[in-house]
Each structure stands twice: as C-alpha cells, then as structure tokens.
Structure 1
C-alpha cells in the first residue's frame, strides 16, 4: 500500500508542486489592499451564468433542424435551479462597485473621463470581435451548404445572445459619472411603474423594454453605494436579502409572475427578457447575500490556490462568457455524428435528460477550454515571451491596469 502511495506521489507530485508554486507567486504579487471578495463574487457570477445556460438550454434535433428547448418548460418544478444560476444581478453589483471606484481613482490621478472610458470599453469589447467574426463566417458556410434557415437562426441567436448583456453593461459604464450618487430606489420605482402599467393596466408590451436599463441599474447603483461605504455593515445585506426574498415570493405567489428567473420557451411572460419587477427584487436578495458573504470570501481567498483560480477566471471572464454557448453548440454538432444522444439532442422532458445533461458538463468544459485556448489572447493580449513574468503577476503589479482581474468587465 505504501508503494502505491509513493507511486501516486511520484506521478502527480511535480505537476501539483508546480501549480502550488504558481499559486503562491500570484498570491504574493497581489497588492495587500486589494479586496479579493470583489473578484470572487465576479468569478462566481460568471460561472453561475455559464453553468445555468448549460443546464437549462437544450438543442433538440428534430429531423434536419435544431431547435431550442428548456427542461423548465416540461418540468416547471425545477424552477429553483434558475434561482441558483441566474447571477447577473451580482455581476452588475460588482460592476457598479468597480466602475465607480475606478472612476474616482482615475480622477484622482488626473485621467480624463474619455481615456478612462476608452480603456474600459476596449477591454470589454475587444473579445467580441472574434466571436462575431467566427459566427458570421459560420453562418455564411451553413447557408452555402444548404442548412435549414431555422437551424442557422437558432445557432446564431444562441451564440450572440450574450451581446445584449454587454451592450447594457457598456451603457451603464459610460453613464458611471452620472450614477455615482443615484439612489437605487429611483430605478426600482421605474421598474415598479412599468410593470404596473404593463400587467396591471393592460399597457403596451414594448414598454417593458424600459426595464432593460432600469432593471440592471438597480444592482449597478447598489455597487456605487457599496463604493460610498453605505453597505459596509451587515444590516444592509440582511435588509436586501430578506426584503428581496419576501417581495419576490409575494410577486410569484400572488401577482402571477413566473417562478423561473430565466426565460422559458413558450412561456407567456419571461422574468428576464425584459427584466420584470420579480427579477429585480430577486436580484436585490442576491445582492444582499453577496454582501453578507464578503468577509467569508476574503478569508477563503487568503488560500493561494483558491485565489489563483479566482484570478485566472477574472482574467478570462469575457472569453468564458462569450464562448460558452459556442462550446455547447460545438459539442452538440459534433455529437450528431454519432446520432441523437441523450441529454444532448433529445427533448428535455424528464429527469433522465437531466442526469444525462449533467454527464455532458465535463465535455462542455473541455470544449470551452479549447475555445479559451484559441481566443483568450483577444482579452489577455499575446502570450509572454520566455523570461518575462507571468501575465497574472504583471497585471497585479501594474499600477496602470489596476489589475485586469479587477477592472475586467
């Protein structure tokens, strides 16, 4: 038994030691004053969205076409899954905090608004060029080979769906100087009145698109309040968590809002597209929980391995977000060569599909890793030459970049 243990140690020891060494270097290179909880919250928010999409988005092979479906349509009692993985509110909370803090720092250093905004938007949109170009070429090739128009529309829409989020986030980022003192109750009041007119008074459905800005402005301005120090105590977190949870439960139970916090194909109302009052109150609860977890996350991030993993996710946040749907579709398309595979091409209408889909998650991760390897330079820049310091170490020590891990997205 001891010989086997020594064999395992000799096999895995060197790689694990290299990982630990790299993690310690990243940990040592991180400024002491850095709030690692902010990076951890962003990483969890991004990974939550990715995992949520992989679990609730199905591409069903129906004859010669592919169509989208959701297990939440066939099994609505699975709605709590969407509560765990619809984490965009936390992303906007962190984004508002980082943007307002970064803008204040830029002003103190004499950096103009135009230069500050240009640097942020460049980091945000540079990775977009690659995914848009690839899918423009892919759509042209599919048309040339006679693929069904419905299939092409489904694939392109799914691949480019993350872009709506970036456009909203970019608009809020550009408006940051105007939002630094805005009370979150103002955009919340807008969402409340829009839904009241839409659902209570029979107003036009297009009015709901006002919530696309107002709805995400609520957590974004909460992030600005965090920067101002107004959310430092635990009381604020508990008020947001309890108030948001009670309000959401009431809206679902008595006001007819869907229980699912993501869009469900075929549903009359989507909580996310555009955001409804229920989605916003649910986001308030999530933001409250995030604020309450800050101290625990700071303690957890003192571990070099945990911090290194969070730092690396943040360095590739946009690449992961933009390419995770492509990874899903690439796996689905490749799997068609073997026929209709359970959990990949079949209708998500029972728990068997759920179990099969969970088994496919490692394959999606591998496919996303391939996409990351091919396209990460659009976000991180070119690979370092031999003898230069690690990219993670460089960005942590760079006063100019304020660490891309923090300011990315």
Structure 2
C-alpha cells in the first residue's frame, strides 16, 4: 500500500508539473508580447508600433527566454497521450476523440474571432484608416500561429501515438532528422518549392516536442538526470553552433528584414533550442515539484491554468485599451524609443496592462461558463463514426486553413475585411459542432489533473 501510494503521489506531482508548465508558458507568452510591443504617437496623432526586435537588435537575445512554446507542445503531448489511450480503451473512435478536443479549441477561438471580426467590419464601414485597421488586426491575431499547428497535431495524435507505441524514442529522433534536413533545405535552396517543403517543419519540429511528451509520460526519457542533461547540453550546443557558425539568427521570434527566420518555418536552430528547453524542463522538475506541493502555489497554478485560453486569446486587447486611453489622448510620456527612459517605463506599462487584462478575464467569466455549457451540448460523441466522423476531419481541416490565414495576415490584411477566412472559420466550426449525423450524441471527455487548463485548447 505504501508503494502504491508513493506511485500515485508521484503521478499526481507530475500532473501538477504539467499544469505548471502550461501556466508558466502562458505567462511568458503574455509578458513577452507585451514587452516587445511599444507604441509611438506621431505628431499627426496616429499611433504606430515600431518592431522592437528590428529597431533595437540586442533585444533579440531576450527571445531565448521568452520563446517558451516547446513547453506547450511537451505538456500537450504528455496529456494527449494519456487521454487518447483512455479513450481508445473505452471504445472511442479517433474521430470522436479528435472532435471533442477540436471543440475545446475552436469554440473560444470562434467567439474571440467573431467579436474581433465584427469590430473590423464596423470600423471598415465607418472609414477607419486602412493602415491603422491592418495594424490592429495584426496585433489581435499575432498569437494565432500556435492554434492551427496544435489543432493539426491533435488531429494526428492517433497516428502519432501508434507510431510512438511501435518506435518509442526513435519516432521523435526520426522526425528531428527530417526536420533538420528541411531546415537546411530552406536556407540553401531558393524558390517556391523550398518554401512549400519548409512548411512541413511546423509539424515536424513541434511534432518532435509533442512526441517527447508521449515519451516523458511513459518514462522513456530516463528516471534520472542523465538523459535530460544530455538533451539540454546537446540541444544548447547545437543551437550555439547553428547561430554562431551557421546561417541562423539568434532571435527565436520572426524579425522583419531577416532573410532567415527561426519560426516561419521553425528552423534547425529552433529544433535544437526546443530539445535543450525540454531537457532543462525535465532537469528542474524535481525541485519545482516540491514547491508545487504547497497549497498556495497549487491554487495559483490552477487559477492561471483555468484562465489560460482566455489569457492566450485576449491578452492583446489591453494594449488597444491603453493605446486609446493614453496614447491617442497624448497622456502617455514618450521618451525616445528603446532609450533608458523607455525601458524604465516598461515596468508601469506591464503593470497597467496586467490590471486591464485582469478586468477583461473577470468580465469574460460569464462567457466562459456559457461556452462550457455549449461545449457539453455540441461536442461529438466519443464513438462517432461514418458521416459524423468525416465531418470532424473536414471541420478540422477547414478551420486550420482559416486560422493559418489569420496567423499570417491578421484580421484586416490591407485594411479589408477577410471574407473568405471568416466564412472558412465559421464553416469549419459548424462542421465540428452542429450535431447532425453524429451517430452518437453526448461526449465522454475526461478532464482534470493534467488535462485541465490549456488542455481545453487541444
């Protein structure tokens, strides 16, 4: 009994650590986006947002700490592996499981996108400056690149997990070799074919980390420090070589004007950094797990996790609020962009944005509750198949296409309303949620523990 209790406690601790990784990642995403977003009011009263990483090049080094997306995919793979295994054991189908997870992502995303698109449509109709509208539309979609990638990896989970059961660590290793090759191809070969092949790295590179989540859950990454330490060392050294000697920039976020990017598509350097970050996360896990056992810390992690999707989607809205309240009115002090005075004001900037975001999250609680009730009604059944199953796959594909457009172009590219993408997202969400042809109604999703919080997005 004591041994069993110890194993259960270890499992619970590990689940709490997965929740912590999600919460930590979402916090750094929000802070990182706020930190690099700086507003400037021109003499004619217009507001612009110079690109900090391009204007102040040394800030590109900061992205080594703020590019935290590998933790999303690691935690996502960890949770998805267990979820799919349980669903399959209970007789669920791949389409049913994928559909339930897609609904968790698509419903809040559709509400957010719908409200932003409504605002874009109204602003375009009343003659708002197209340049301003395009800038705002881009800012409100800058976080969207993650959504189609995660949605597609979730849809591929039954296949990826089957490969994992057969090949174990060989699967992420093979995907890593392929991703490294694609990354080299992108920087050595010009032309549209190289660009098209490079797009595969969105699934290959992030898929490596997702697969490592499967491996972590089943103890394949070792129970000591040797394997994580080797991952951190090899990944870190590889990144240093690829940046120092190779052609890749240090910035782990897209920078305008750079011929080679580490994110679009994910590069060989990003792959190396992701491996290093996973190794580091596993190395510090024992220490952090002890801290997560404290009740106050656990409550904070759960609270942040419960609001994670809202934080992720809505965290740029406070920037618009502050722009309207302090910059359009000329009330905000404006030291030279990137100067010492400007950096000093980053502190109050972050605090004010945090206060506004807290109010936004609080105001959206009724919407979140309504979405939870709606999800329970419209998600496909765990055993859906036939016509309903094909609808799930079609809906995921169409939605991923629309989200990819928004991620690359924003909500108002060229100052215009994106009709095709808006219709595409609406059709995709409807295919996954409107309950005709399911063959089985209701859902059987398992939640809690490691599948709370951000698990709602996948």
Shorter chain as denominator, the TM-score bin is: 0.7 to 0.9
SS in 2 for 1:69: coil
Q: Is the 8 A contact 1:103 1:116 kept in 2?
A: yes
> CA separation of 1:148/1:225 partners in 2, compared to 1, >3 Å: closer, same or farther?
same
1:215-246: CA deviations, max 9, x gaps?
21111111111123201422221111111110
Measured after TM superposition, the shift of residue 210 of structure 1 is: 2.0
Inter-partner Cα distance in structure 1 for 2:363 and 2:222:
41
Change in 2 beyond 3 A, CA 1:138/1:104: same
The alpha-carbon deviation at position 64 of structure 1 amounts to 5.1
Provide the residue aligned with 1:24 in structure 2.
none
> Does structure 2 conserve the Cα–Cα contact (< 8 Å) formed by 1:97 and 1:223?
yes
Task: Say which of 142, 160, 184 aligns to 2:172.
Answer: 184
* Residues 318, 298 of structure 1: alpha-carbon distance in 2 compared, 3 angstrom cutoff: same
How far off is 1:372 after superposition?
1.0
What does residue range 264-303 of structure 1 map to in structure 2 within 5 Å? 264-303=255-294
More displaced, 332-341 or 294-303?
A: 332-341
Q: Does 1:219 align with 2:238?
A: no
Asked if 1:38 corresponds to 2:18, the answer is yes
**1:323, CA displacement in angstroms?**
0.5
Aligned 1:127-142 pairs, distance under 5 A: 127-142=108-123
Aligned length in residues: 364
Residue pairs, 1:4-153, within 5 angstroms: 33-34=11-12, 35-62=15-42, 63=44, 65-153=46-134
SS in 2 for 1:269: coil
TM-score normalised to structure 1 length: 0.82
Deviations 1:151-195 (A, max 9, x none): 111111221232221111011011111112341122222222222
Q: 1:349 aligns with which of 321, 338, 349?
A: 338
Does the aligned pair in 2 maintain the 1:130–1:378 contact within 8 Å? no
Q: Which residue, out of 447, 451, 454, partners 1:401?
A: 447
1:378 offset after TM fit, Å? 4.3
Deviation at 1:383, TM superposition (A): 9.8
2: CA distance between counterparts of 1:190 and 1:57?
A: 35
- SS of aligned partner of 2:258: coil
Q: 1:254 deviation in Å?
A: 0.7
Query: Is this contact kept in 1: 2:47–2:327, CA < 8 A?
Result: no
Question: Structure 1's 146 and 64: CA in aligned 2 closer, same or farther, altered over 3 A?
Answer: farther
TM-fit CA distance, 1:308: 0.4
**Shift, 1:97, TM fit:** 0.8
Verify the 8 A CA contact 1:316 1:376 in the aligned structure 2.
no
Using the alignment, how far apart are the partners of 1:89 and 1:371 within structure 2? 27
Question: 1: distance between equivalents of 2:234 and 2:367?
Answer: 41
Contact 2:100 2:445 survives alignment (8 Å): no
> Partners in 1 of 2:49 and 2:202 — Cα distance?
23
Q: Tell me, yes or no, if the aligned pair for 1:123 and 1:379 is still in contact at 8 Å.
A: no
Q: Does 1:246 align with 2:246?
A: no
Q: Are 1:200 and 2:188 matched, yes or no?
A: yes
